[in-house]
Amino acid sequence: MSSGNMARKQFDLIVFDWDGTLIDSTSTIVKCIQASAKDLGLPIPTELLASHVIGLGLQEAMQLVMPDVEPKYHARMAERYRYHYLSRDHELTLFPGVQEMLQELSQQAYFLAVATGKSRVGLNRSLNAVKLLSLFDATRCADETFSKPHPAMLQELTRELGQDMRRTVMIGDTSHDLLMASNAGAAGIAVEYGAHPVEQLQACNPLYSAATVADLHQWLSEHA
């Protein structure tokens, strides 16, 4: 694919969610949430419920996944979750095709960023593990600002990089990502291979919905 004149038709800044969008972590996160509940002798959330909270900040996620337990358990759930996740995060890999897609977009002079429900420590560990730290121009994490779907992450990223929200697109696998985009006035693109069911993503009216990384890469090459 030739770069240069083809690039940057409607967007200058492309913001990616991390878990379930670039990195194949959905099932690991679900298992870690369920293991945390089991450790504390709490009702074990279903896979559907545990998947739904992916992308939110850890405290918000635990409150939603365990609405009926005493609030003191939310902090303990978060603590157990960190323990389980950190023991497994070295096993996580990028979805096939992600590295090539990001490198190509970077060469075409798009600004690239990450907006994630992860903590700063968690994201940096993950970026280092898959050697992508240098590819992104900026990153925002849930423990530094408001959690999705609040628009703050996108507002801060556009401000930091001097970009126009109308030429910014948010790409993610959850309704939280797409709602954040519409709350901020950015475009939203859904990926269908992550945490949320396709119907839930479609209800947010994304500009495009990609079935695979290859599909996303092709759409961005032709339309972004």
| Residue 90 pLDDT grade (very low, low, confident, very high; cuts 50, 70, 90) | confident
The CATH class of the 13-24+92-223 domain is alpha beta
| Residue 1 pLDDT grade (very low, low, confident, very high; cuts 50, 70, 90) | very low
**Known catalytic residue at 17:** yes
| Residue 6 pLDDT grade (very low, low, confident, very high; cuts 50, 70, 90) | low
Do the Cβ atoms of 170 and 189 come closer than 8 Å?
yes
State pLDDT tens for residues 164-223.
Answer: 999 999 999 999 999 999 999 999 999 999 999 999 999 999 999 999 999 999 999 999
How far apart are alpha carbons 111 and 160 in whole angstroms?
A: 11
pLDDT of residue 7: 67
Is it the case that residue 4 has pLDDT exceeding 60?
no
One fold for both 13-24+92-223 and 26-90? no
Do the Cβ atoms of 56 and 148 come closer than 8 Å?
yes
pTM for the complete prediction? Answer: 0.95
Do the Cβ atoms of 169 and 207 come closer than 8 Å?
yes
| Residue 88 pLDDT grade (very low, low, confident, very high; cuts 50, 70, 90) | very high
Between strands 208-210 and 13-16, the pairing is: unpaired
How far apart are alpha carbons 185 and 154 in whole angstroms?
A: 9
Average pLDDT along the chain: 95
Q: At what angle do helices 58-65 and 26-39 cross, to 10 degrees?
A: 60
pLDDT of residue 102: 98
CATH topology of domain 26-90: DNA polymerase; domain 1 (1.10.150)
Active-site annotation holder among 19, 24, 89, 173: 19
**Cis-peptide, bond into residue 149, ω within 30° of zero:** yes
The whole-angstrom distance between residue 138's C-alpha and the CA centroid of its chain comes to 14
Is it the case that residue 3 has pLDDT exceeding 60?
no
Q: Which residues have C-beta within 8 Å of that of residue 206, sequence separation ≥ 6?
A: 178, 188, 189, 190
Domains in the chain: boundaries: 13-24+92-223, 26-90
**Known catalytic residue at 12:** no
